[in-house]
Amino acid sequence: MDPRQLCIDERLRLGCVYCGGEPDTRDHVPSKILLDEPFPASLPVVPACRECNQSFSLDEEYLSCLLEVVLKGSVDPQELEHARVRDILTRKPSLADRLLDAKHVDENEEITWQPELERVRNVLLKLARGHVAYELNQSRTESPNNITAIPLALLSESDRGQFERGLVDEISGWPEIGCRAFYRACGVPPDPHQDGNWIVVQEHQYRYMVFETSSVVVRIVLREYLACEVVWDIA
């Protein structure tokens, strides 16, 4: 039987995935500010209330600019490749100054960056909630048990391997009938954006995975630079 023909019950009709309120807009997950143009033809969207949809914009803008300047080592718009970041930093010199203040050079000319962690955390939590809703049809408006973000290059070889593999040996059971993870488990239809356990939204820019065992886990890689994980314990 084709699982796409099975009924979807009311549990799969979510409210705002960020606060649980009445959804009156639809939000892209990830937001386009974290991607390059031309954008993918079909971006994941989730239900959201207007207030939540708009409340993350400045933090997403900050994270997008932060990633670009860290990768390029400069806040000068003329030295950046991402067109939208160039435009933002040209229009908002105060943001460029804040990012420059986050740059530290030690006596050995080694550069480190001290990001505004709360803003980064806000975006990662928003993204994770959106991916859980889109893939598992679950609402995770409660606080997660853990949020981490670390450059991929700083992971040990074993930690990098574990992070990239995701769920391998544990059996988590079948996802709820009607959600995207259920279709994917059935192999109907095969997802053209799937690379192993990863869903590649845009190559070299954004990929993610979602799996559920005794926890709901979302892993995200931004710009093939920043490895992120958000975990909700459910056991």
User: Is 79 strand, coil or helix?
Assistant: helix
The 3-class SS string of 52-73 reads HHHHCHHHHHHHHHHHHHHHHC
Q: Return the pLDDT at 13.
A: 59
Contact 149, 67 (CB under 8 A): no
Contact 198, 207 (CB under 8 A): yes
In sequence order, which residues have a C-beta less than 8 Å from that of residue 11 and are 6 or more positions away?
137, 176
Digits of tens for pLDDT over the chain (235 positions)?
A: 444 333 344 444 579 999 999 999 999 999 999 999 899 988 999 999 999 999 999 999 999 999 999 999 899 999 998 889 999 999 999 999 999 999 988 888 888 889 999 999 999 999 999 999 999 999 999 999 999 999 999 999 999 999 998 765 444 555 555 555 555 555 555 565 676 789 999 999 999 999 988 899 999 999 999 999 999 998 6
Nearest to 39 by CA among 192, 194, 203, 191: 203
Q: Return the pLDDT at 167.
A: 66
In sequence order, which residues have a C-beta less than 8 Å from that of residue 168 and are 6 or more positions away?
none
Q: Torsion over CA of 185, 148, 119 and 137, rounded to 10 degrees?
A: 20
Global pTM reads 0.85
Residue keyed to tokens 């869903």: 199
